[in-house]
């Protein structure tokens, strides 16, 4: 596994470079104090390195030079947003939004920031509600890329990936889906099970990206698509590239964990699933991945807890019941296994894990050889939760503990 300590080093380097740039800009301003482009550059640079007092100084200076400037009022809201002072930011932004005859790009920036405050303060559904009328209006001009990205991400995190995909598909039909918007669109398409769009949009997002600034969502999508194609090395490479951009990204950790699981690196996968879940404990698929890893490692009690955590998020997901049924069946908890088998198959009659758990009960599995024979008979050439052969994954559960 790649170590990611270099990412924090790079972040420190970037901050140091921003501080050096800010010192230079302020030196220039000593000679040309009324230079508005220099003031704007100094203000933005101060924000990047969290120098709030220096940013505020340049803001007030510029506002004294241009007291009616909408652009500097918007920058004042940026300063409050950077400090998470959402009340003051909202006050400034609402006043700007009420002003007549705003240019479309400026109106989009104001709406974006107000919706972002809703996202941070009240969650993705509130953000969707704040944006829906504008984003779904046929009369509204095409939104700026930043607003489109926020809209797609809010829909996705509000568990509406199908709506996000439909919107992106219509946006694409108008030749408006630029690479910077295609990244979040690709991850929504992946979770909506629209694999052709996920592939096309992640390719678009990555084609024009700089090596050090690739869109993280497109990389996560590419990692997941590689998993479905049984390509663990490619999946790991894409996930690690995503984590170099953001070492705290839960989806990237989850993709890397699934790649390690597919590669048979079970202890590593276990650690990576734990890292993913610390960042996004509400992600059902990652609980499933951890549960299957625990089954493979014969930690059946741990697997039960993982699938129960998934069920706590959504009790109507057949795969959660099916995985829990497998853990119960392998642990000889017949009544618990049958309960969750029944629920899994009632929710999805084709549920593979539920049928596997039923076969474990019926065959009375109690030794590795019988387990292997059952897996071969039932699961050869059938796809599992990662797109791999379930035979390849689950049959490894019969190896002695401590091996991989």
- Give whole-number Cα distances, 239 to 61, 72, 190, 223, 308, in Å: 45, 39, 15, 6, 27
**389 in helix, strand or coil?**
strand
Among 203, 230, 246, which residue terminates a domain?
246
For the chain, 404 residues long, give each residue's pLDDT as a single digit of tens.
222 223 334 455 577 888 999 999 999 999 999 999 999 999 999 999 999 999 999 999 999 999 989 999 999 999 999 999 999 999 999 999 998 888 889 999 999 999 999 999 999 999 999 999 999 998 888 899 999 999 999 999 999 999 999 999 999 999 999 999 999 999 999 999 899 999 999 999 998 776 555 789 999 999 999 988 888 899 999 999 999 989 999 999 999 999 998 888 889 999 999 999 999 999 998 999 999 889 888 899 999 999 999 999 999 999 899 999 999 998 889 999 999 999 999 999 988 888 888 888 887 765 555 555 555 554 444 444 444 444 454 444 444 333 33
Among 246, 273, 294, which residue terminates a domain?
246
By CB atoms closer than 10 A (0-12, 13-18, 19+), residue 133 is: exposed
Q: Looking at the structure, tell me whether residues 230 and 311 fall in a common domain.
A: no
Q: Looking at the structure, tell me whether residues 404 and 285 fall in a common domain.
A: yes
Q: Looking at the structure, tell me whether residues 174 and 217 fall in a common domain.
A: yes
Question: Is 283 within 8 Å of 254 (Cβ atoms)?
Answer: yes
Cβ-proximal residues to 192 (8 Å cutoff; 6+ apart), any chain:
161, 162, 164, 165
Among 140, 146, 191, which residue's Cα sits nearest to residue 170? 140
Q: Looking at the structure, tell me whether residues 394 and 297 fall in a common domain.
A: yes
Cβ-proximal residues to 280 (8 Å cutoff; 6+ apart), any chain:
250, 251, 254, 286
Q: Structurally, how many domains does the chain consist of? A: 3
Q: Looking at the structure, tell me whether residues 166 and 242 fall in a common domain.
A: yes
Q: Looking at the structure, tell me whether residues 242 and 298 fall in a common domain.
A: no
Torsion of CA 305, 308, 312, 313, to 10 degrees: 90
Asked if residue 373 is part of any domain, the answer here is: yes
Q: What is the pLDDT at residue 370?
A: 58
- Give whole-number Cα distances, 147 to 90, 116, 129, 154, 260, in Å: 17, 10, 14, 11, 35
Dist CA 26 CA 38 (whole Å): 9
Asked if residue 398 is part of any domain, the answer here is: yes
Q: What is the pLDDT at residue 6?
A: 30
Asked if residue 3 is part of any domain, the answer here is: no
By CB atoms closer than 10 A (0-12, 13-18, 19+), residue 185 is: buried
Asked if residue 332 is part of any domain, the answer here is: yes
Asked if residue 287 is part of any domain, the answer here is: yes
Q: Looking at the structure, tell me whether residues 293 and 393 fall in a common domain.
A: yes
Q: Looking at the structure, tell me whether residues 226 and 343 fall in a common domain.
A: no
Domain range for 287 is 281-404
Asked if residue 361 is part of any domain, the answer here is: yes
Asked if residue 258 is part of any domain, the answer here is: no
Among 148, 140, 193, which residue's Cα sits nearest to residue 167? 148
Q: Looking at the structure, tell me whether residues 296 and 403 fall in a common domain.
A: yes
Asked if residue 310 is part of any domain, the answer here is: yes
Q: Looking at the structure, tell me whether residues 231 and 290 fall in a common domain.
A: no
Q: What is the pLDDT at residue 400?
A: 37
Q: What is the pLDDT at residue 295?
A: 87
Q: What is the pLDDT at residue 13?
A: 55
């Amino acid at each position: 596994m790649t170590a990611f300590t270099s990412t924090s080093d790079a972040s420190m380097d970037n901050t140091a470079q921003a501080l050096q740039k800010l010192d230079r800009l302020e030196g220039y301003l000593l000679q040309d104090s009324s230079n508005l482009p220099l003031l704007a550059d100094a203000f933005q640079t101060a924000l990047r390195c969290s120098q709030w007092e220096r940013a505020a100084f340049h803001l007030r200076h510029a506002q004294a030079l241009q007291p009616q400037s909408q652009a500097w009022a918007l920058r004042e809201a940026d300063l409050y947003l950077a400090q998470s002072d959402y009340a003051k930011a909202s006050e400034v932004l609402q006043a700007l939004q009420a002003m007549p005859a705003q240019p479309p790009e400026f109106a989009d920036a104001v709406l974006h920031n107000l919706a972002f405050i809703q996202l941070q303060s009240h969650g993705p559904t509130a953000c969707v509600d704040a944006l829906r009328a504008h984003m779904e209006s046929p009369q509204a001009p095409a939104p700026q890329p930043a607003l489109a990205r926020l809209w797609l991400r809010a829909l996705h995190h509000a568990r509406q990936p199908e709506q996000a995909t439909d919107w992106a598909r219509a946006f694409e039909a108008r030749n408006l889906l630029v690479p910077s918007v295609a990244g979040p669109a690709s991850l929504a398409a992946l979770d909506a099970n629209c694999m052709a769009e996920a592939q096309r949009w992640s390719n678009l997002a990555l084609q024009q990206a700089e090596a050090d600034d690739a869109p993280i969502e497109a990389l996560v999508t590419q990692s997941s698509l590689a998993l479905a194609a049984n390509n663990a090395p490619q999946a790991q490479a894409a996930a690690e590239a995503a984590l170099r951009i953001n070492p705290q990204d839960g989806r990237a950790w989850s993709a890397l964990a699934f790649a390690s699981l597919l590669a048979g690196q079970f202890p590593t996968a276990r650690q990576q699933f734990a890292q993913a879940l610390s960042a996004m404990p509400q992600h059902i698929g990652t609980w499933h991945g951890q549960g299957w890893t625990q089954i493979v490692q014969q930690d059946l009690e741990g697997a039960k807890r993982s699938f129960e955590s998934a069920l706590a998020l959504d009790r109507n997901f057949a795969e959660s019941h099916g995985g829990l049924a497998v853990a119960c069946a392998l642990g000889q908890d017949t009544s618990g296994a049958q309960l969750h088998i029944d629920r899994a198959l009632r929710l999805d009659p084709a549920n593979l894990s539920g049928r596997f758990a039923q076969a474990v009960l019926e065959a009375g599995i109690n030794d590795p050889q019988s387990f292997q024979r059952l897996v071969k008979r039932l699961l050869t050439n059938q796809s599992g939760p990662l797109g791999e052969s379930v035979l390849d994954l689950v049959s490894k559960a019969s190896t002695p503990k401590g091996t991989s």
